[in-house]
Structures are given as C-alpha cells and as structure tokens.
Amino acid sequence: MAKFNPDIDIPDLAGQVFLITGGTAGLGARTALRLAQHDAAKIYITGRNAPAAEALIASAGNTSPNSNPTITFLPCDFTSLASVHSAAQTFLARESRLDVLICNAGVMATPPSLTSDGYESQFGINHLGHAMLIRTLLPLLRSSSPSPRIVLLTSLGWQLHPRGGINFDQLTTPMECKLGGSWLRYGQSKLANVVYARELSKRVPGVEVVSVHPGVVRTGLVDGLGWVKYGFVWVTNLGRLVSADEGCWNTLWAATGPTGGRVNGGFYEPVGVLSRTVEGKEDWLDEVGGRLWQWTEGVLGGFALEEIP
C-alpha cells in the first residue's frame, strides 16, 4: 500500500472542477467531502436521492473552517442512457471546465433485471451508463483542464466474471442462472470497468485514466446484501471490511496525486499499487477491451458523440 494520507497528501484544489457519480451517499459522498476539505472550486454529485444530496451539501460547509465548497446536485438515473446523456448536457451548459470525472456509482450482486434501455442491469449501470457520461464529457475534459483525469471504480470482484469474460450475446437479457448468477453479472460489469479504462488510455491521448478498487467497504452497497451474499463477502475477505472514509482513499489518490504518478490505463489496489491480479493477462484484457469498445460504441451510436477511433 502506497503511503497516502488524505489530510496532508491532497494538494490545494483551488480552481478545479470535479464530477462524482453516485455522490449522495457512501464512497461518493465521502469523496466529495474530502475534496471539499481541500478547497475544490466546484464538486458535482449525481444521484436520484435529492434529500440525501441536500443533507450532504449542508454538511459540506462544516468540513473545514477555511473552505467554502460549492457542491451541486445533478439528478441522474444510471438505468437510463437518456437520463445520463441529459445530465451530461446539463453539466456542459453550466460549466466550461472539468478536471476530474470520478465514475463511482454502482450496484452489486442484484437480482436479474433490465435497465430501461433493455440491458442487463448491473452491466448497464456499472459500465454502460458511465461510458455514456465519459463519452459525452470527453471533449470538455480534453479542452479545459491541463491534466484531465478519469477514475473508474471497479472491484477485485472482476475475477468473478463468466467464462470468456463478458457474455456479449446475453447483455440484452437478465442473464438468469441458478448458481451464482448475481456475482457472475457483477464480475463481468467490473471487468468492463478495468478493460474500458485500458481502452480509453490507448484511444484518448492527453487524458489520464485509471481504475481502482476501494476495498470492501461498509456502505449500503454491502450492508444491503442478503445474509447469504453478505456472508460470502465477509468470508472471502476474511472479515476485512473498511469504512467509507478509508474506502475513498484510492479514489482520492488517483484523482489528486501528482501528475504522471500513475500508469495510464492501470488498475490499482490497494491504494497506489498496481494490482497483481492483471499480471500475465494483459493480452486477454486487451482483446476483451477491444471487443467491449466496439460493442459500447455501437450502443451509444444513436447519440451525437465525438468520434474516437
């Protein structure tokens, strides 16, 4: 684990603009408050829970006696590509700068279901919605910030993916199966986060993109699991669950650390350390990533997005 203390290692963020998805609770909320402590100019948080957003915004003024953070709630439903695209357009209409996009929103081990667009829900929320947001905001990221960054939250759970990685031919189905289906669906969505970061780093020069594992964090995502799934998480992690504040450290390191301190496209876990879980799998990850890129571009093709080879 890299030596990192968010109290002293996050630099002054004056003038910088951040956008955090799923920022009304859990890791996203803690990330927003930590950034506010270091005088980020503006912090946007997406979500569906307006009261939770209002409570967070009210509490942000107490994060530091010297800070006057501007946190803005951006309503957004990641089960709908149209909602994500609309939220991105709202952001573009309000702002002329974006320094860091933190793709934090997500679901875990949920029952079989489809998004409103007809895609497997975990894949739709964890990957496809974020791909829409990234692709819509890329021109602003590239043009407005001297060192633009994208941080995608993934998980060591990517290793639970189905055989072959991503079942592309089943992504428009709920992908129901009797044994471990919720974890297989989760695994492939988290694999998508890892390989999409790799693809973006190769295809979009001038933007630093990394994926990070926050640890297994005591948030609503974990606490809301049924007792069987919670037991699986607890046992497989030897009971090592961390707080939401500690869970956001890897994100903060990636989002605010010195420029050039990371491998572009890399997957980091624990904080600041390249994950060994991808060693020896680079060719396969690139193969899956290339196919995911083409599939994703096909899905998003109905929206007016900047073309990327």
186 as an active site residue: the answer is yes
196 as an active site residue: the answer is no
* 3-class SS of residue 190: helix
What tokens appear for 171 in the block?
A: 């992504």
Which residue type occupies 17?
Answer: V
Question: Would the CA dihedral through 13, 17, 21, 26 be positive or negative?
Answer: positive
* 3-class SS of residue 299: helix
**Which long-range CB contacts under 8 A does 67-72 form with residues at least 24 apart?**
67/36, 67/37, 67/38, 67/39, 69/35, 69/36, 69/39, 69/40, 69/43, 70/41, 70/42, 70/43, 71/32, 71/36, 71/42, 71/43, 71/44, 71/45, 72/42, 72/43, 72/44, 72/45
Question: Would the CA dihedral through 51, 56, 57, 61 be positive or negative?
Answer: positive
How many residues appear in the chain? Answer: 309
DSSP 110: P
Annotated catalytic residue: which of 42, 119, 190, 268? 190
Annotated catalytic residue: which of 44, 186, 196, 268? 186
Assign 3-state DSSP to the chain and report helix, strand, coil percentages, each to 5. Answer: 45, 10, 40
User: How far lies 128's CA from each of 79, 284, 298, in Å?
Assistant: 9, 21, 11
Residues marked as catalytic: 186, 190
